[in-house]
Every structure is written in structure tokens, then in C-alpha cells.
Amino acid sequence: MGERKEFDLSRYITLTEEELIGLVVCVVLDVVEYILIILLLPLIGDIIDLGGIIFSLYYFKWIGLLTLLELVPGGDLLPLYIITWIVWYSLRKLEETRRREHFR
């Protein structure tokens, strides 16, 4: 049989507890809309979207404005909370890298 290869992702991505909790909340917000089709209907889904938008603005600050696209017709079909988390995480890691290089 073939040899089993293992990959160490810690070189590429490391998450703090705060980052992981934010990612889990974003995944839940996006997946719930796909599982419960009724949430894609206007008004009913918008209530959940408003809760998600409030969370995003609190957690991600100005980057959370991306989730306002949830209110645009058809915006629910995109995983906007996950996309917002990825943008936030990328910018956060970029800033950390710049700080480390600045203080060397």
C-alpha cells in the first residue's frame, strides 16, 4: 500500500481562540441560511442577517461593512460572513507581520 503523507498546516495558518470562535460563528451564520431554506425569504431571512451584520460590525469593525451585502437581493447566496472573516484574518496577519518587521 502507499505511504500516508501528513501535512503540518501550522506553518501556513495558526488561529488564536478568538480567531477560531469568529470563524465558527461566521460558518454557522452562512450554513444556517443554506440548511434552512426559509431564511432565504425576504423579511424572515433579513432578521437573521441583521443579527449577523451587528455581530460582524462589532467583531470585525469597519471590515464588517462587507456583510451589508447580505441585504442585497441574491447576496444571501454568497458566503459573505466567511469571506469577511478571511479578509479580516488576512489583514490582521499582514499587520502583525509589518509590526514584527518594524521592530526588528
Percent of the chain's residues with pLDDT above 90: 45
SS (H, E, C) the chain: CCCCCCCCHHHCCCCCHHHHHHHHHHHHHHHHHHHCHHHHCCCHHHHHHHHHHHHHHHHHHHHHHHHHHHHCCCHHHCCHHHHHHHHHHHHHHHHHHHHHHHCC
- Predicted confidence (pLDDT) per residue in 8-48, tens digit: 666 777 888 999 999 999 999 999 888 877 766 777 777 88
